[in-house]
Chains A and B, each alone.
Chain A
C-alpha cells in the first residue's frame, strides 16, 4: 500500500507543452527525491529536497524544476516538454539518513 502518491501514472503530451508531475506523501517525511529511470539504466537522481523551501539539483542534469512549499508535496515541472524528456519519473521520500526510500508508482511520460 503506497503512502507516496504520484499522478498522473501515464502522460502523453506534445512537444512544447508545460507539464507538472505531482508527488505527495502522507508520512511526514522531510526528505523527498525525484529519480529519472530509463530502461536498462540505473535510477538517476535529478532533484531532492531536505525540507520546506529547500531544493537541490541531483547528479543528473535536468531541465525540470521542483518546488517544496509544503512538507507533503514535491511537484516537478517541465516548462517546455521535448521528446528527450520521455522517461519514467519516480518520486521517493525518507525520514533520515541511511533509511530506505519509499517510492511512488511512478509517472511514465511520453513526449511526441
Chain B
C-alpha cells in the first residue's frame, strides 16, 4: 500500500526567505507525486505533479519540487516566500493503475512579516 509522510507539522518562515517542505513516500513502483495547497476555508489546489522524466518539476506560484528516488522523497521548495503563501500544503502519491491518491497529514506554513 502506498503512504505519504510529511515530517513537519508546522513551519514558520519570514517573508522573502526560502521555504522547503518535506515529503517522503512509500510505494513499490514509480509513483505519481503531487503537491497541493489549501487556503483557509478552501478546497485543495494543485501546485505541481511528477509522473516521469525530469526529476525537478516546476509548478504554479513559483514553487518547484524535486523527486529523489533513492531517498523516496519529493520535497517542495520556493526561493522567496510571500505572505500569500501562508496555507496548508499536502503531498500525495498515486499510480497509473490506481485511481486513488494517498495524502500526507499536511504542513501548515505561517509567514511572518
Residues on B with beta carbons closer than 8 Å to the beta carbon of A74: none
Within 8 A of B (CB), among A48-90: 48, 50, 58, 90
Residues on A with beta carbons closer than 8 Å to the beta carbon of B49: 100
* CB-CB nearest in chain B for A30: B99
Chain A residues proximal to chain B, CB less than 8 Å: 2, 4, 6, 9, 31, 33, 35, 40-43, 45, 48, 50, 58, 90, 92, 94, 96-98, 100-106, 108
Within 8 A of A (CB), among B7-43: 9, 32, 34, 36, 41-43
A-B contact pairs, 24 of them (CB 8 A): A9-B41, A33-B100, A40-B9, A40-B106, A42-B90, A42-B102, A43-B44, A45-B100, A48-B100, A90-B43, A90-B44, A94-B99, A97-B94, A97-B96, A97-B98, A98-B97, A101-B101, A102-B46, A103-B36, A103-B44, A104-B43, A106-B41, A106-B42, A108-B41
B43 near A97: Cβ-Cβ < 8 Å: no
